[in-house]
Amino acid sequence: VPAAAPAPLGCDDPESEAAADVAVSYINGQSHHGYKFALNRIENIRVIPQGLNNDIIFLELDLLETSCHILNPTPLVNCSVRSFTEHAVEGDCDVKLQKVDGVFSVLASKCNSHADSSEDIIQLCPDCPLLASLNNTEVLTTVTAALNAYNSKTAGAYLRLLEVGRAKIQYEPVHNVIVEFAVAATNCSAEEAKDNVEACQLLPDDQSNFGFCTATMVTRPSQDLRADCKLYGHQVPTPDPGVTYSQAGQGTS
Amino acid sequence: SVAKRAVAEAAQHDKVPRPVGFLPPPPPCPGKIRHFKI
């Protein structure tokens, strides 16, 4: 009597979670902008046997944005997921993996991300600041003012803007712009930059030193700007030993 | 006049008695929510 087909994998089975961990590592590893994402739920899993110890696995994953920028070396497990009232961002990913002799490799992945609806946030927290467009004029003004303020006070390297990661605007009870942005150290000190800022270039990859800044600018009832930046220090790139990526991977679209 | 048996009574007799405490297994997917659902 032919052996009964194995029961379909459940979304909470250890093997499904192992596959999801490889997929999330791959997705974060392929991303060069924004924030790291963490697994929130395995929506579905389909296994298509290809032969002995060889399966193709299709995963549908529900991810949530964390507070770690993609350049932050902090391990994902230590990155906190944005709370609902911080205006969470969800990622929906479809990932195709292959499992050969127990080793997972990612063949392709496709992700879409979207912020939670503002109505949901307002319903629960009427005064919570809401996500704003990254090219909003107030946002760009706040980022520029915050980086200039930081560079004018720091005794360290002159920092250049890499990208604006997130921005929120609060309207009541004060008018407040909250921004997060990624920066990189240049080959100038902040003092040298005052004389000739054009000469200040980002450090080469083998010396790169990225960082992250947060700033808030209250414009009403009074003006108040606060900026804080932290550099990660030079990171020696290390491939993740627990994950293998197939060369044929289609990358993440 | 034809006396019609109460459907409920008939259904009651036809129903296969289930052992007490029998619950169908949870669906295999979607899995558990680790943080919150938006």
pLDDT single digits (tens) A124-160: 999 899 999 999 999 999 999 999 999 999 999 999 9
Average pLDDT, integer, range A48-61: 97
User: pLDDT by residue (tens digit) across A238-253?
Assistant: 655 444 444 334 444 4
User: What residues of chain B lie within 8 A of the CB of A10, using their CB?
Assistant: 28-29, 31
Q: Determine how many CB atoms are found less than 10 A away from the CB of residue A20.
A: 24
Nearest CA in chain A to B25: A10
The full DSSP string for A85-130 is GGT-EEEEEEEEEEEETTEEEEEEEEEEEEEPPHHHHHHH-TTS-E
Residues A242, A19: Cα–Cα separation, whole Å? 12
**Chain A: closest CA distance from residue B4 (Å):** 46
What value of ipTM does the predicted structure carry?
A: 0.84
Of B30, B32, B36, which is closest to A44 when you measure between CB atoms? Answer: B30
B34 in reach of chain A (CB within 8 A)? yes
Query: Is A69's pLDDT higher than 70?
Result: yes
User: What residues of chain B lie within 8 A of the CB of A81, using their CB?
Assistant: 35
For residue A165, give the nearest of A53, A36, A77, A22 by alpha carbon. Answer: A36
CB contact under 8 A, A88 and B38: yes
Contact of A53 with A102, CB cutoff 8 Å: yes
Residues A100, A105: Cα–Cα separation, whole Å? 8
- Residue-level pLDDT at A1: 66
> Chain A interface, mutation test: which of B29, B34, B36, B37, most A Cβ atoms within 10 Å?
B29
**Chain B: closest CA distance from residue A65 (Å):** 11
User: What residues of chain A lie within 8 A of the CB of B34, using their CB?
Assistant: 38-41
B4 versus A120: the higher-pLDDT residue is A120
- Residue-level pLDDT at B21: 67
For residue A157, give the nearest of A205, A207, A206 by alpha carbon. Answer: A207
**What are the residues of chain A with a beta carbon less than 8 Å away from any beta carbon of chain B?**
8-13, 16, 38-45, 62, 64, 81, 84, 88, 90, 116, 120
